[in-house]
Amino acid sequence: MWVRVLAVIAGMILLACGCGAAKRPAADGLAWADCDDGFECAKLRVPLDHGKPDGEKIDIGVIRLPATGDRIGSLVINPGGPGSSGIQYARAAQVTLSRKIRERFDIVGFDPRGVGESEPVRCLSDDRLDAFLALDTTPDSPQEQAALEQGSREFADGCQARSGRLLPHLGTADAARDMDLLRQALGEEKLTYLGKSYGTFLGAVYADLFPAKVRALVLDGALDPSIPRLKLNSDQAMGFERAFRAYVEDCLAEASCPFRSHDVDGALNELADLLRRTDAQALPSNGRQVTEALATLGALTPLYDRDSWPELTKTLRQALAGDGTSLLANADRLIGRRDNGTYSNQTEANMAVNCVDSAYPRETSAYATAAAEAAERSPRFGPYIMWSSLPCATWPAKPTFSNHPLKARGSAPILVIGTKRDPATPYEWAQSLASQLDSGVFLGFDGDGHTAYFNGSSCVDDAVDTYLLTGVAPADGTICPGIS
């Protein structure tokens, strides 16, 4: 059940291309080499600074799965993050894309700059990253807040020390320009693209920069680019609250449900009590300590996929009995921590991109105020999500994007999808993005989990496949029913 979670959430264990075969020239401008299991890998050279096209170059890792049938062209895909590996996502194509799409398109994934095989940003050693991610992100004393501030500064300073030359050039607009160079190298006149979660922002920025180069863009689980970052965090916390409530409603109908309460609000309070207990005393787990921050991550991770709700039930039953093992395993999946204690650079890249994609407050008091306000809307997840952005308060690189609506004037129709109880990208964001885009077409899914395509709805899948294959979008405002 974790296959889809790993593919959609996070590029956690990055898979090397293994490009040991001799490179061969290709007419499309990339030198592809076999890299096992039917995939081909290559490197795309791009400017570090797109404002200086003749300056320093960096390599972008690219992978493709050739079409199995009558080929239309290339479908570029991105799983989100930011920080997730598009290479790993492409390797999961058989469980994330329909057979129809794999027959007609070369499936092309790439690690955006700063991620995985594309000049990865690095900030902390593995043991220091362990310590940072375990910090108390709901500080309720001056000492706890001071520790969080110090850890956040250490993270930002570490990024500058180890990856300083990259940091000013990791914004989504830079990645979108890389994607246009990839389109050209693939020999495609226009871009066909499927982006999920943060990948919707990458796709929308691309369309805004290159509207005439859009063939078909699917933006599934959309972000709203017009919302300031702390408001975006608050909305996301409310999305997790909404999703957890939906899980509890389902759980209470099952005999295996671990909550003592027989009503939703009572069960939600039990989760809050559990998190408060881990704030006071961490739960044990195979020699590691499950702090409140890690417990929160462990509780919210299974919300990304409705098929993982039984896993969440098992996790909570174990945690309520005093064992944090499953909570910690869930958290490790989300943050890219491997069993041997090493990390992908998912967490570091996520922070590095977010901190330059929006202007964050520089004063700690702004985060404290925002956390208190978020706690009113989302008492279980709000403070954690608000405080988690604190490294951006001292980020050494300036923001490169100011939050504003994206129009993509003159582009072909762009399909924007929202899931009603999506935990990470609330439904309202997709509605807003579709209305901002001049050619936006909105498709809703009355379901649960993060993103909609290939999540069990034939209504969504048929609409997306038809659009990608033909360019014909569904009627604007179509709502696909939930899965019974």
Q: Going by C-beta distance under 8 Å and a sequence separation of 6 or more, which residues neighbour residue 87?
A: 11, 14, 15, 17, 41, 61, 62, 63, 109, 110, 111, 116, 117
Are the C-beta atoms of 229 and 370 separated by less than 8 Å? no
List 106, 136, 422, 448, catalytic entry = 422
**Does residue 450 carry a catalytic annotation?**
yes
Q: What is the CA radius of gyration of the chain?
A: 21
Range list of H helices, 252-345: 264-280, 292-300, 309-320, 325-335
- Please name every residue paired with 477 in a beta bridge, in sequence order, or none if there are none: none
Q: Quick check: 191 and 411 in contact, CB under 8 A?
A: no
Partners of residue 46 on adjacent β-strands: 58
Helices (H) and strands (E) in the chain, counts: 18, 12
Q: Which of 197, 234, 285, 389 is catalytic?
A: 197
- Quickly count: other Cβ atoms within 10 Å of residue 342's Cβ: 12
How far apart, in whole angstroms, are the C-alpha atoms of residue 220 and residue 311?
25
Instruction: Give, rounded to a whole angstrom, the gap between the first and last alpha carbons of the chain.
Output: 18
Catalytic residue among 279, 450, 461, 465: 450
DSSP class of residue 412 equals: P
DSSP 8-state symbol, 210: -
388 is a catalytic site residue: no
Q: Which two tokens stand for residue 80?
A: 């989100």
**Residue the block writes with tokens 């066909």:** 192
Closest CA to 239 of 183, 165, 304, 287: 304
| Cα–Cα distance measured from residue 456 to residue 450, given in angstroms and rounded to the nearest whole number | 12
Answer yes or no: 197 catalytic.
Answer: yes
Instruction: Catalogue the active-site residues.
Output: 197, 422, 450
